[in-house]
C-alpha cells in the first residue's frame, strides 16, 4: 500500500509570554519585563497513514490532537520534524476555522476552491452538489458570520467531501448538528472508504472510532501513547490514561478504583438468544466511594447496541475488593460475539475507572432471521 501521510519526528512548541507590567505606561517603559514559558504541544510524533486507511486520533482536551492536524494541513508549521503528503487533501478543522466570516457562503466555496488550485469552471461544476449536500441553499448568499454552528458545519463538510480529495481530515465536527445530518456525513465517509480514500478523524466519541476507523492513535500531553488496533488503543485511552483520574473526598484522600475482571457464575459467556445472563464485575477500591455504574455492549464491528444510564445505576464501594452484579434478564440479540465495556463514573458523568472489552458474550440464535436484534414481530391479516 502507498503511504499518503508521513509524520517524522514532528514537534511543535509555543512561547507563552507572562507580562509583569500591568499598565500601558509600564509596558512602554519596560518592554522586556515579564517571563517567557515554552509550551510543548507536540513531542516527537512519528506515524504513517496508508492509502485507503481510516485513522482515528483520540485524547483528552489539550492532548495535542488539533495541533497535530493543523500541522498536517499546513495551517501550522512544526518546530521540528517533517510531514510529507501524497495526493490532494481537504481539511475540515474545528468549528470556526477555514471560512472568512465576512464573506457569503457562496464566496467561501469559491475561495476554498481557489486555495486548492481549482478553476472557477471546476468549482461551478461541483457547486450545486455542495449546496444540495449542505441543505442551506436559502442562506448560501448570507455572510457566514450569521450562520449557526450547524449551518457552518453543514457547508464546511459539504465543501470538503465534494472537492474530490485523496485525503480527508476531519476534526471534532461530526458531533455538531442534528442526528440526521450526522448520519448523512457518516454515510459519505463510508463512501469515501469504499472508494479507497484516506481519512484522519479526530473525535471524542469512542463509538465513531470503533465504527469508522481501521486504527487509532492516542495522544496525551503532546505525546503519542498508543498507535495500533482500535480496540487496543481505546483500552489504553480509557484505562491507562484514567489511572490518574481521581476524585477528592472531603479529607483530601484519593479515590482510586480499578476494575479487575468480569466473571459469570457458570464460567461461560455463551448464551441462547432470548435467554438471560448474570455478570459479576470485580473491582478494587482504595477507600469508600459512591458513584454510578456504566455498561456498554458493542458488536465486533463497533456498533453500539446498548449503553446503560449511568445516573440510574448508583453503586457504593467499600475499601478493598468489591463485586457488582448485573442481571441481563433477556438478550434479544441474534448470532454473534458482543463486547462488554464496564466502568464507574462520578455524579457529573466523569469516568473514574473503565475496562474496555471486559467480557465478550457469545450469542447463539436458532432462527433464520437476519440482523442484530430479534424484534418478535407478528404478522396478521
- Residue of 183, 169, 117, 177 lying closest to 150 (CA atoms): 177
As given in the structure block, the three cell numbers for residue 88 are 490532494
Category of 135 on φ-ψ map: left (φ > 0), alpha (ψ -120 to 50) or beta:
left
pLDDT for 33: 62
The CB density around residue 2, as the number of other CB atoms within 10 Å, is 10
**By percentage, how much of the chain surpasses pLDDT 90?**
44
30 — pLDDT class (breaks 50, 70, 90): low
Global pTM value? 0.74
The CB density around residue 328, as the number of other CB atoms within 10 Å, is 16
Distance of CA 294 to the CA centre of its chain: 19
As given in the structure block, the three cell numbers for residue 21 are 507590567
DSSP letter, residue 237: I
User: Among the listed ranges 10-14, 96-100, 249-253, 330-334, which one has the minimum average pLDDT value?
Assistant: 249-253
User: Among the listed ranges 44-53, 71-80, 111-120, 283-292, which one has the minimum average pLDDT value?
Assistant: 111-120
- Residue of 45, 17, 49 lying closest to 33 (CA atoms): 17
CA distances from 183 to 126, 175, 218 (A): 22, 10, 25
The string of pLDDT tens digits covering residues 160-193 is 888 888 999 988 766 666 678 888 888 889 999 9
Contact 141, 106 (CB under 8 A): yes
The string of pLDDT tens digits covering residues 225-249 is 999 999 889 888 876 665 544 443 4
Mean pLDDT within 356-378? 85
Cell 463486547 found at = 339
Q: Which residues of 68-100 are buried (b: 16+ CB within 10 A; e: fewer)?
A: bbbbbbeebebbebebebeeebbbbbbeeebbe
pLDDT for 308: 84
Strand stretches in the chain, DSSP E: 3-18, 35-50, 54-58, 80-85, 89-92, 167-171, 198-202, 215-220, 223-228, 257-263, 270-272, 277-285, 289-299, 304-307, 314-317, 320-328, 336-345, 351-364
Domains of the chain, first to last: 3-237 (3.40.50.300), 246-364 (2.70.50.60)
As given in the structure block, the three cell numbers for residue 275 are 435467554
pLDDT for 319: 92
The string of pLDDT tens digits covering residues 114-166 is 877 788 998 999 999 999 998 999 999 999 999 887 888 888 888 888 888 89
- Give the β-pairing of 351-364 and 336-345: antiparallel
As given in the structure block, the three cell numbers for residue 121 are 469552471
Terminal CA-to-CA distance of the chain, rounded, Å? 56
Amino acid at each position: 500500500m502507498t503511504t499518503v501521510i508521513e509524520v517524522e519526528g514532528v514537534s511543535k512548541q509555543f512561547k507563552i509570554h507572562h507580562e509583569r507590567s500591568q499598565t500601558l505606561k509600564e509596558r512602554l517603559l519596560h518592554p522586556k519585563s515579564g517571563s517567557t514559558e515554552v509550551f510543548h504541544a507536540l513531542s516527537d510524533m512519528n506515524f504513517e497513514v496508508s492509502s485507503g486507511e481510516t485513522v482515528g486520533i483520540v485524547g483528552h482536551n489539550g492532548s495535542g490532537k488539533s495541533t497535530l492536524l493543523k500541522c498536517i494541513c499546513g495551517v501550522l508549521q512544526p518546530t521540528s520534524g517533517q510531514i510529507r503528503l501524497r495526493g490532494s487533501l481537504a481539511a475540515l478543522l474545528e468549528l470556526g476555522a477555514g471560512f472568512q466570516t465576512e464573506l457569503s457562503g457562496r464566496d467561501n466555496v469559491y475561495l476554498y476552491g481557489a486555495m486548492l488550485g481549482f478553476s472557477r469552471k471546476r468549482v461551478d461544476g461541483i457547486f450545486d452538489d455542495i449546496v444540495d449536500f449542505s441543505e442551506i441553499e436559502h442562506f448560501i448568499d448570507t455572510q457566514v458570520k450569521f450562520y449557526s454552528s450547524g449551518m457552518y458545519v453543514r457547508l464546511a463538510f459539504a465543501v470538503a467531501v465534494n472537492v474530490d480529495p485523496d485525503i480527508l481530515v476531519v476534526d471534532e465536527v461530526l458531533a455538531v448538528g442534528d442526528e440526521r445530518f450526522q448520519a448523512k456525513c457518516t454515510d459519505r465517509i463510508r463512501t469515501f472508504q469504499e472508494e479507497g480514500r484516506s481519512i484522519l478523524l479526530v473525535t471524542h466519541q469512542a463509538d465513531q472510532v470503533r465504527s469508522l476507523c481501521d486504527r487509532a492513535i492516542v495522544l496525551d500531553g503532546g505525546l503519542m501513547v498508543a498507535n495500533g488496533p482500535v480496540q487496543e488503543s481505546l483500552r489504553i485511552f480509557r484505562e491507562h490514561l484514567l489511572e490518574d483520574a481521581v476524585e477528592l473526598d472531603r479529607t483530601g484522600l484519593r479515590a482510586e478504583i480499578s476494575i479487575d475482571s468480569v466473571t459469570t457464575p457458570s464460567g461461560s459467556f455463551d448464551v441462547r438468544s432470548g435467554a438471560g445472563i448474570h455478570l459479576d464485575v470485580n473491582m478494587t477500591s482504595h477507600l469508600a466511594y459512591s458513584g454510578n455504574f456504566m455498561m456498554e455492549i458493542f458488536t465486533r464491528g463497533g456498533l453500539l447496541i446498548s449503553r446503560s444510564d449511568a445516573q440510574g445505576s448508583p453503586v457504593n464501594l467499600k475499601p478493598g475488593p468489591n463485586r457488582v452484579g448485573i442481571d441481563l434478564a433477556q438478550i434479544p440479540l441474534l448470532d454473534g460475539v458482543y463486547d462488554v465495556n464496564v466502568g464507574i463514573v462520578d455524579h457529573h458523568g466523569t469516568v473514574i475507572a473503565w475496562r474496555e472489552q471486559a467480557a465478550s458474550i457469545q450469542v447463539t440464535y436458532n432462527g433464520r432471521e437476519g440482523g442484530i436484534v430479534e424484534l418478535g414481530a407478528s404478522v396478521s391479516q
